């Protein structure tokens, strides 16, 4: 009985509920159509997208919102009642009013908003930036993820980035030497990789990108020609690309040490001017490989001879004699530089720089070396030396890219440098047997003077035939350098001959003139092949001519001048290297991978003619197959694998072929080798990149290997008796 009563009550309740749902509503619950217009107070033009909010006066939690259409009109259905209308629009003062809605339809009076000059308060949406991101072939670091001091430089910033190192030997990224640093894709002081990092403030950097920059012609054709340059591109913050900023600093301490400098940047969108200056004697240096004026050759110190004075003669010079990156010793440096970047008429992209450097160096060095001649015999070599040098160099670089129209582009890159160096050194070297038995000793005084210039130019032209990839491009490169090297040697040598101590004095003058020139031309044609493929045919012609003329004379006491000819220590040689290379390449790429391969056949000829100290002629030809492969596979946006394989050849220089004795150090004599062949090298590189933005971690794995046939190196020979 009770269950029946409960079922009956439940049934009645459901029926009442159903009836109440269908019952007619009172008139005050029916929505009323409300419409209106929002306009600019000054122009009476409608404001599209303005926000109109109706807030109930009875219950402020009931808010009804709408927005105006393209003409500034709005419509909304509202219950009867009194409302506060709040109207807002970006850049205008908000407006409030009260309205009553109590009829079937209500037209709201036109709302007129007043434009305001007031700026909105700044707001920041903060999110932790990923440390490293892999984007195709570019590794990108976010600067905000690395903490630096307020006055930190770009160099301080990149030192904290995994895979990048900066030390006295230069800048390395992904295990390779960085040869160029760009700022927003533009060159900054030419190929000087260190100057941008040392002088740009870290606070203006948004991102640091590391990639292999293609040659100008390869960038136009899209084909990797193997002439890549490890490059860092500094992406500046958008709010730092216009305006003036920089710093002036100076200091003076005990021992008369000082440091001063200026760094001024004037940025106005695409026009950028940077002025750098530095003066100090605390070992801060600004040197690059361009400051070498193309000097070539090889010279080393140290070693030892079994006995005998050996031949006498002049010396040679090499890149090691010049100041590259951080130089040992105490350095005084004065330098100034100017960099200019701009875009003219929206077609001509101009980048140029000038750099002057003056430096003084004072150093002391001690060498302790042991030679293992056999299982039982060893020889010790000790050398204590001091030196000082003065160096002046001027350097100018420019790059002009002219986009004539959508189908024609021309790029011209001139370079010019000049250097003058004067140095002196004093050395005391000795050779001993294991029992500290003196073999020989040499006290030498050197005075060296260099003077030379290097100039080059590269011209690239590209014709875009259609949008599918068909193009024709050509490039011409010319390089010339002339160097004069004057060398004075004053040495006192002591050695044993037939168990008798012999003393010998050397007073010589050696003058070396070298002229080097190279010419290169390249012609390439690309043709689309399939949907994502591209075929390239190219031909390259290269010629280099080198000459070295060394004249060595000894001092004549009677005439008090250097007139005694040392024919065995003088030499005149010229050599040439001509290559003809034809290539066939294929490129295939999509979102997942990028495959680039080509095969070249090269016919090269090497000639050398030496007239003194004896007549010698070299004629050799080399036929080589040069494959090249670049492959990148993107597993995902955060995982990437890259493989690079390339082959290349290198011909010996005139000084390496010149069979003339160099007695820069009388205890270590050296000479060239006329029997040298060209070097054929294989290079293999693999890089795996894995990033996890969620954990802000990254993993980079690099594997590199180089194998060279007929490698040109140095061989040490210790004579068992007088030679």
Read off the pLDDT of residues 615-673 as tens digits, 9 standing for 90 and up. 878 888 889 999 999 898 888 877 888 899 999 988 887 678 777 777 766 667 778 88
Closest-CA residue to 193 (of 162, 233, 159, 163): 233
DSSP 8-class letter at 344: E
Query: Which of 668, 664, 715, 665 has the alpha carbon at shortest distance from 550?
Result: 664
Q: Are 603 and 618 in contact (CB under 8 A)?
A: no
- Whole-number Å distance between alpha carbons of 513 and 16: 116
Secondary structure of residue 70 in the 3-state scheme = coil
Other CB atoms within a 10 A radius of the CB of residue 510 amount to 26
Residues forming beta bridges with residue 540, ordered by sequence position: 522, 581
| Number of Cβ atoms within 10 Å of the Cβ of 25 | 7
Q: Alpha-carbon distance 287 to 335, whole Å?
A: 10
Q: CA 205 to CA 48: how far, in whole Å?
A: 39
Beta strand ranges found along 18-78 (DSSP E): 32-40, 51-56, 63-67, 73-78
Strand partners, 35: 75, 107
Q: What is the pLDDT of residue 412?
A: 96
Rounded to 10 degrees, what is the CA torsion of 650, 656, 657, 659? -170
| CA gap 632, 591 in Å, rounded | 11
Q: What per-residue confidence (pLDDT) applies to 145?
A: 85
The residues of the chain scoring below 70 in pLDDT are: 1-30, 61, 105, 117-129, 136, 168-169, 190-191, 217-218, 220-226, 286-327, 497-498, 654, 664-667, 693-696, 716-723
Q: Are 395 and 355 in contact (CB under 8 A)?
A: yes
Asked if residue 174 lies in contact with residue 105, where contact means CB atoms within 8 angstroms, the answer is no
CA dist 392 and 695 (Å) reads 51
Q: How far is CA 431 from the centre of its chain?
A: 44
| Tokens 């068992």, residue located | 720
CA distances from 178 to 120, 211, 218, 419 (A): 44, 10, 19, 24
Residue 35: C-alpha distances to residues 28, 77, 92, 113, 560 (Å): 19, 9, 21, 17, 112
pLDDT of residue 101: 85
Question: Residue 599, preceding bond cis, omega within 30 degrees?
Answer: no
Ordered structural domains, the chain, with CATH:
26-113 (2.60.40.10), 132-240 (2.170.130.10), 283-709 (no CATH)
Backbone angles phi, psi at 16, to 5 degrees: -65, -40
Nearest to 286 by CA among 209, 195, 373: 195
Read off the tokens for 694: 């969620």
Which helix or strand (DSSP H or E) is residue 505 part of? strand 500-529
Distance of CA 256 to the CA centre of its chain: 36
């Amino acid at each position: 009985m009770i269950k029946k009563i409960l079922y009956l009550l439940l049934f009645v309740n459901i029926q009442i509920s159903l009836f109440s749902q269908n019952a007619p509503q009172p008139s005050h619950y029916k929505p009323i159509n409300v419409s209106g217009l929002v306009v600019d107070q000054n122009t009476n033009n409608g404001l599209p997208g303005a926000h109109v909010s109706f807030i109930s006066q009875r219950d402020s939690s009931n808010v009804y919102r709408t927005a105006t259409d393209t003409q500034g009109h709005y419509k909304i259905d509202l219950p009867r009642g009194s409302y506060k209308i709040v109207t807002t629009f970006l850049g205008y003062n908000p407006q409030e009013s009260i309205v009553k809605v109590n009829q079937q339809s209500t037209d709201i009076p036109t709302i007129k908003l007043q434009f305001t000059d007031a700026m909105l308060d700044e707001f920041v949406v903060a999110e932790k930036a990923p440390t490293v991101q892999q984007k195709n072939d570019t590794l990108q670091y976010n600067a905000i993820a690395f903490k630096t001091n307020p006055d930190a430089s770009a160099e301080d910033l990149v030192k904290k980035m995994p895979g990048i190192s900066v030390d006295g030997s230069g800048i390395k990224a992904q295990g390779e030497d960085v040869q160029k640093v760009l700022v927003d894709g533009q060159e900054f002081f030419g190929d000087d990789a260190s100057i941008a990092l040392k002088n740009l403030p870290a606070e203006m950097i948004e991102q640091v990108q590391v990639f292999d920059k293609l040659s100008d012609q390869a960038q136009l054709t899209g084909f990797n020609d193997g002439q890549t340059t490890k490059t860092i591109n500094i992406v500046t913050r958008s709010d730092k690309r216009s305006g003036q900023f920089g710093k002036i600093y100076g200091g003076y301490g005990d021992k008369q040490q000082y440091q001063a400098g200026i760094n001024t940047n004037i940025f106005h969108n695409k026009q950028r001017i940077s002025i750098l200056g530095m003066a100090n004697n605390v070992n801060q240096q600004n040197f690059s490989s361009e400051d070498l004026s193309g000097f070539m050759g090889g010279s080393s110190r140290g070693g030892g001879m079994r006995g005998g004075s050996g031949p006498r003669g002049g010396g040679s010079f090499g890149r090691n004699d010049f100041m590259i990156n951080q130089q040992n010793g105490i350095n005084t440096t004065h330098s100034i530089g100017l960099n200019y970047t701009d875009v003219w008429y929206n077609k001509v992209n101009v980048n140029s720089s000038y750099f002057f450097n003056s430096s003084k160096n004072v150093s002391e060095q001690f060498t302790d070396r042991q030679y293992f001649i056999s299982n039982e015999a060893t020889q010790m070599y000790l050398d204590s030396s001091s030196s000082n040098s003065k160096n002046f160099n001027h350097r100018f670089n420019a790059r002009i890219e002219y986009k004539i129209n959508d189908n024609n582009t021309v790029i011209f890159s001139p370079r010019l440098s000049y250097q003058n160096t004067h140095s002196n050194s004093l050395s005391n070297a000795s050779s001993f047997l294991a029992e500290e038995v003196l073999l020989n000793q040499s006290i030498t005084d050197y005075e060296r003077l260099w003077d030379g210039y290097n100039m080059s130019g590269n011209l690239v032209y590209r014709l875009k035939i259609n949008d599918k990839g068909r193009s024709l491009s050509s490039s011409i490169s010319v390089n010339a350098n002339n160097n004069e090297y004057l060398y004075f040697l004053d040495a006192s040598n002591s050695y044993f001959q037939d168990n008798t101590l012999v003393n010998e004095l050397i007073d010589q003058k050696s003058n070396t003139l070298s002229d080097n020139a190279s010419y290169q031309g390249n012609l390439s044609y690309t043709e689309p092949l399939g949907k994502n493929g591209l075929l390239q045919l190219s031909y390259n012609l290269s010629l280099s001519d080198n000459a070295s003329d060394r004249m060595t004379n000894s001092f004549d006491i009677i005439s008090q001048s250097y007139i005694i000819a040392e024919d065995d220590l003088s030499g005149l040689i010229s050599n040439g290297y001509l290559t003809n290379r034809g290539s066939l390449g294929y490129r295939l790429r999509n979102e997942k991978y990028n495959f680039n391969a080509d095969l070249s056949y090269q016919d090269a000829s090497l000639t050398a003619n030496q007239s003194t100290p004896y007549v010698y002629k070299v004629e050799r030809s080399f036929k080589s197959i040069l494959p090249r492969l670049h492959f990148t596979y993107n597993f995902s946006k955060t995982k990437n694998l890259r493989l690079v394989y390339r082959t290349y050849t290198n011909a010996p220089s005139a000084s390496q072929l010149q069979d003339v004795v160099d007695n820069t150090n009388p205890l270590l004599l050296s000479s060239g080798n006329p029997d040298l062949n060209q070097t054929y090298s294989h290079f293999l590189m693999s890089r795996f990149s894995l990033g996890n933005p969620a954990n802000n971690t990254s993993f980079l794995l690099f594997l590199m290997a180089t194998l060279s046939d007929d490698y040109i190196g140095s061989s040490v020979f210790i004579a068992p008796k007088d030679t």
